[in-house]
């Protein structure tokens, strides 16, 4: 089995076509961390795939999306969509401390300064709220092997996608959140089978991090 192909099938195609209902996908895992009837800020909401599922739980979803066409579609599922580039975000036209959850799914690796975004978002999370982030794992075994043989080839999908500006391991993703004013509550790997529980850093496709404000 081609691990890169598997990564594409599980983690990337779903982001383009819709919500991924596979139980080990970042979408599915993140959804199951969110309580019903809560206020959610979906950062990089795309066409509103996650918001559509959250609506079924009675959640009130606000989205942020810079692509105009995607934002138009997301409005079908979000109470509000803010069209804004999150790379240079300084503030939002929203009430501070309002959201029970802020989700950033497959977003932070696309930014040159994800720490700046997280610091801004922190202001809009309630005192008991949770930040939920999914980040690809650059320390997965095939990436380590490639580096061992002097290769670092960008692809159209996966942890070393051409669209990624930053790369993270379990450790550095935790440091990113902690350095931005959050306390890590839980880290959940995504992947196949129980082996990811034993060799997490080597086998996880991505990490789901759950954090609260310091």
pTM of the model: 0.88
Q: Which long-range contacts (CB under 8 A, 24 or more apart) does 139-147 make?
A: 139/169, 139/170, 139/201, 139/202, 140/202, 140/203, 140/204, 140/205, 141/202, 141/203, 142/3, 142/4, 144/202
CA 30/CA 110 separation, integer angstroms: 19
> What are the C-alpha distances in Å from 75 to residues 42, 53, 55, 78?
12, 14, 12, 5
Q: How far apart are CA 206 and CA 190, in angstroms?
A: 5
Instruction: Look at residue 195 and tell me whether its pLDDT is greater than 60.
Output: no
Per DSSP, helices labelled H in 38-79 are 49-56, 68-74
Each residue's pLDDT tens digit, 54-105: 999 999 999 999 999 999 999 999 999 999 999 988 999 999 999 999 999 9
Q: What are residue 153's phi and psi, to 5 degrees? A: -100, 120
Confidence of residue 196 (pLDDT cuts 50, 70, 90): low
For 3-213, CATH number out of 3.40.50.150, 3.10.129.10, 2.60.40.420, 1.10.510.10 equals 3.40.50.150
Average pLDDT over residues 146-151: 83
Domain edges within the chain? 3-213
Q: How large is the average pLDDT for residues 167-177?
A: 94
d(CA 95, CA 35) in angstroms, rounded, equals 20
Tell whether the model's pLDDT for residue 200 goes beyond 60: yes
The pLDDT of residue 38 is 99
β-strands 99-105, 80-82: how paired? Answer: unpaired
Instruction: State the Cα–Cα distance between residues 76 and 91, nearest whole angstrom.
Output: 24
Choice among 10-24, 113-127, 144-158 with the minimum mean pLDDT: 10-24
According to the model, what pLDDT value does residue 193 have?
59
* DSSP helix/strand/coil, 214: coil
Tell me how many degrees the CA angle 15-20-26 measures, rounded to the nearest 5: 80
The yes-or-no verdict on residue 2 having pLDDT over 50 is no
Q: Write the DSSP string, 116-143.
A: HHHHHHHTTEEEEEEEEEEEEBTTSHHH
pLDDT category of residue 1 using cuts at 50, 70 and 90: very low
Note whether 28 and 53 are within 8 A (CB): no
């Amino acid at each position: 089995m081609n691990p890169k192909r598997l990564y594409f099938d599980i983690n990337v195609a779903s982001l383009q076509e819709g919500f991924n209902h596979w139980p080990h996908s970042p979408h599915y895992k993140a959804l199951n961390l969110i309580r019903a009837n809560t206020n959610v800020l979906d950062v990089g909401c795309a066409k509103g795939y996650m918001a559509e599922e959250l609506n079924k739980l009675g959640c009130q979803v606000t989205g942020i999306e810079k692509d105009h066409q995607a934002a138009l579609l997301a409005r079908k599922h979000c109470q509000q969509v803010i069209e804004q580039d999150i790379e240079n975000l300084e503030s939002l036209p929203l009430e501070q401390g309002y959201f029970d959850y802020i989700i950033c799914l497959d977003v932070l690796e696309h930014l040159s300064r994800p720490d700046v975004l997280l610091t801004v978002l922190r202001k809009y999370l309630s005192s008991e709220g949770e930040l939920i982030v999914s980040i690809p794992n650059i320390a997965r075994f095939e990436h380590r092997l490639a580096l061992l043989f002097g290769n670092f080839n960008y692809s159209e999908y996966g942890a070393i996608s051409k669209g990624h500006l930053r790369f993270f391991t379990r450790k550095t993703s935790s440091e990113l959140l902690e350095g931005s004013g959050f306390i890590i509550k839980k880290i959940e790997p995504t992947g196949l089978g129980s082996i990811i529980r034993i060799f997490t850093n080597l086998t996880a496709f991505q990490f789901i991090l759950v954090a609260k404000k310091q």
